[in-house]
Amino acid sequence: MYVAVKGGEAAIANAHRLLADRRRGDRSLPSITIEQIVAQLGLAVDRVMAEASLYDRAIAALAIRQSRGDMIEAIFILRAYRTTLPRFGYSVPVETSRMLVERRVSATYKDLPGGQLLGPTFDYTHRLLDPSLLRDEQVEEPLQRDGEQEPVMRVSDILAGEGLVEGDGELPAGHVPGDLTREPLEFPMARDLRLQALARGDEGFLLSLAYSTQRGYGNNHPFVGEVRMGEVEVELDLPELGFAVSLGRIQVTECQMITQFKGSVKSPPQFTRGYGLVFGQNERKAMSMSLVDRALRTDEFEEDVVSPAQDEEFVISHSDNVQATGFVEHLKLPHYVDFQAELDLMRRMRREHDERSREEPGDDTLEAAQ
Amino acid sequence: MNAVPSELATYNFAYLDEQTKRMIRRTILKAIAIPGYQVPFASREMPMPYGWGTGGVQVTAAILGPEDVLKVIDQGADDTTNAVSIRAFFQKVANVAVTTKTREATIIQTRHRIPEEKLTAGQTLVYQVPIPEPLRFLEPRETETRKMHALEEYGLMHVKLYEDIARNGHIATTYSYPVKVEGRYVMSPSPTPKFDNPKMHMSEALQLFGAGREKRIYALPPFTDVVSLDFEDHPFEVQKFERPCALCGAENVYLDEVVLDDRGGRMFVCSDTDHCEDRRDHGHCGTMLAYGKAAAE
């Protein structure tokens, strides 16, 4: 008792052993396989890949299993793995207008070239518990038809024809896109870096910020120009060959949010855009990202920063859930040295306070008498 | 669908790849060249959480060599769980020799304390820093605080300290007590109790500060002038304890309060466990140890 507690090492080892036991659970049940997680918990896998910034379903599924389904923990495990991987190059920009579209909806047009494709969506399901899922139910094969021959035109390209929407924007000459994971963050940020930060930002945090813009904290009258999900080709420029070669396809969700803009000294009235792009299928994240992206472009449109979602330092500094969870949870580490210092100060201040109130009771009674 | 590779990865010596180490070493060199200035660096995700020493771990990983002897403390103790965990990490990824003896270590990674024993030339003290910006709680914006440092505009900090005195009669900051380095940069000593501030001044050892989440590294080269901020009529002073350590009888050291029972029983023991053990090995004895021995006999 009188000697500082020893045995941290044994305690940690035992805690890890207990954790492994709790992760595995009832040994009479077969353990869940990586393939099952990839196939049946695909959206969880997608979220982990997106916020870890690493596209690998099997490893993301492994992280989910290892973290007992704790998503932020899984993202963290995957990030720590990602950071050790060597960089052998940067891909050429993916061309989402050539996406193999599995889902594509626009809220701004009733019908449009390429059509409205619902795809695998929860949107019009009734959220009634399905008792058939209690068993290993039989599921019908999906209906399929041949894909479109023509690339599915982007809604922004339709509006651009009339000059009513801002263009994709030009990067300043010589601007090399930054890499958030290789350079320290500095404020104010360029939009490329900001979009990188948003793409790996916490889904819940961005959702709430996006929601706040709709409730009057930085409103910009948004319309979903288009949400599309499907596979895009990733290509890498090989200097030896002189052209780009395909590395394979990845699934992404893209959202183009169209917002009103009344014009400024520099630019005529036109629609502006917010942009969202995430790995896998995750519309909620892509839409939230596009709203927050637009909200953060106050500099470009000479808008006043009046609400949290427009405040770059506030949003970007707090959007990373791996950082946030680490710092919040570090409060459970011992702080007794600092607490001792505070305790000492508190006792001293209390003593001084008590002494003062003993010295001054006369004043109170005098005032009361008057 | 890609299969899960059976061997995910083999890690480099001290976990970080050599390119990352080079980037961190450059940052450290710059930090040493401008004492007290916070140098941004591209902090990596580490396999332990942010806020749990990722900055210190990255600095240690970047300077650690196979010949080094590492000591890790948290709250002054070698056996607190996070110190154990970080020490085990470096044993695993660098197979480096570890020690609990302050004088045997070439690198000491610490959270919240500076060892009682005087550090010597050749030793490096690596601090884990949660919030590197001393002005952060006065001004939350990085864009603003960087300007304030650039212009040496530290009035806000003096006003804060003055308000403490006006309100309480004394400065009410007990840890993370700001210091001025070489008469230029105001620097956070990390959340060490102000008791430890004087040890930073003119230290023979190299002191490196790593903040992983905030992506900053700063440094105090050996023999750097480090002054705790104060006023002429309210000079800086450190905490004083009314009694010596109950185990080793040491005076003028930082003590932890240990609650003994639910009737207000308390004892005060050295926060620096190595220092305390060393003294006891050399025959020093506090009141409680004498009592314990007597009870055991």
pLDDT, tens digit, 9 for 90 and up, residues A273-314: 999 999 999 999 999 999 999 999 999 888 899 999 999 999
Distance from CA of A369 to the nearest CA of B (A): 29
Q: CB count, 10 Å around CB of B289?
A: 20
- Shared domain for B70 and B31, answered yes or no, is yes
Question: What is the tally of structural domains in chain B?
Answer: 2
- Shared domain for B23 and B72, answered yes or no, is yes
Rounded to an integer, the average pLDDT of A204-219 is 92
Q: Which residues of B are catalytic?
A: 36, 245, 248, 270, 276
Beta strands B216-220 and B39-40 are antiparallel
List the Cα angle A35/B48/B9 in 5-degree steps.
50
Does residue B169 lie within any of the structural domains? no
Q: What is the 3-state secondary structure (H, E, C) of B167-209?
A: HHCCCCCCECCCEEECCCEEECCCCCEHHHHHHHCCCCCEEEE
Order of all β-strands in the sheet with A222-238: A100-105, A222-238, A243-259, A272-279
Q: What angle do helix axes A71-82 and A57-66 make, rounded to 10 degrees?
A: 130
pLDDT for residue A42: 97
Banded pLDDT at B263 (limits 50, 70, 90): confident
Question: CB–CB of A11 and B75 under 8 A?
Answer: no
pTM exceeds 0.95, yes or no: no
Please give the span between the terminal C-alpha atoms of chain A, in angstroms, as a whole number.
58
Q: What is the CA radius of gyration of chain B?
A: 21
User: B281: domain range?
Assistant: 255-296
A239 or B195, which is more confident: B195
Does residue B147 lie within any of the structural domains? no
Torsion angles phi and psi, residue A222, rounded to 5: -85, 150
Contacts 24+ apart (CB under 8 A), A188-194: A188/A299, A188/A312, A188/B143, A189/A312, A189/A316, A191/A293, A191/A297, A194/A293, A194/A296, A194/A312, A194/A316
Beta strands B107-111 and B97-98 are unpaired
The mean of the pLDDT values for chain A is 89
Question: CB–CB of B79 and A62 under 8 A?
Answer: no
Whole-number Å distance between alpha carbons of B132 and B186: 11
Nearest residue, CB atoms, A81 vs list B8, B76, B260: B8
**Among B233, B155, B238, B225, CA closest to B196:** B238
Does residue B148 lie within any of the structural domains? no
Total number of residues shown for chain B: 297
Does residue B83 belong to the interface with chain A, where contact is any CB pair within 8 Å? Answer: yes
The helix (run of H) or strand (run of E) holding residue B294 is helix B287-296
Question: Which region holds residue A121: left if phi is over 0, alpha if psi is between -120 and 50, else beta?
Answer: beta
Place of tokens 């196939």: A39
pLDDT for residue B294: 55
- Shared domain for B115 and B184, answered yes or no, is yes
Beta strands A272-279 and B124-128 are unpaired
Nearest residue, CB atoms, B2 vs list A58, A85, A328: A58
**pLDDT(B35) > 50:** yes
**pLDDT(A245) > 60:** yes
- Shared domain for B112 and B22, answered yes or no, is yes
Interface test with B, best of A299, A333, A335, A359 (most B CBs within 10 A): A333
Question: CB–CB of A327 and B50 under 8 A?
Answer: yes
pLDDT for residue A221: 84
- Shared domain for B193 and B260, answered yes or no, is no
List the Cα angle A202/A205/A208 in 5-degree steps.
145
Distances (CA, A) of B256 to A97, A340, A344, A347, B177: 64, 7, 11, 15, 19
Rounded to an integer, the average pLDDT of B95-104 is 95
Contacts of B169 in chain A (CB under 8 A): 352
Q: Structure tokens of B140?
A: 């939350």
Rounded to an integer, the average pLDDT of B30-55 is 95
Whole-number Å distance between alpha carbons of A216 and A196: 26
Mark out the alpha helices in chain A (DSSP H runs): 8-24, 34-40, 42-52, 57-66, 71-82, 155-162, 191-199, 203-214, 283-295, 298-301, 312-317, 321-329, 336-359, 361-369
Beta strands B107-111 and B124-128 are parallel
Three-state DSSP state, A28 = coil
- Shared domain for B127 and B67, answered yes or no, is yes
B222 or A363, which is more confident: B222
Nearest residue, CB atoms, B80 vs list A8, A58, A81: A8
* B52 CB-contact burial (10 Å; exposed 0-12 / middle 13-18 / buried 19+): buried
pLDDT for residue B95: 92
The mean of the pLDDT values for chain B is 92
Does residue B103 lie within any of the structural domains? yes
- Shared domain for B13 and B63, answered yes or no, is yes
Whole-number Å distance between alpha carbons of B55 and B215: 8
Does residue B245 lie within any of the structural domains? no
Does residue B273 belong to the interface with chain A, where contact is any CB pair within 8 Å? Answer: yes
Q: Structure tokens of A67?
A: 């973290």
Does residue B241 lie within any of the structural domains? no
**Is the torsion defined by CA of A131, A134, A137, A142 positive or negative?**
positive
pLDDT for residue B197: 97
Place of tokens 């501030």: B197
Contacts of A5 in chain B (CB under 8 A): 79
Rounded to an integer, the average pLDDT of A325-343 is 92
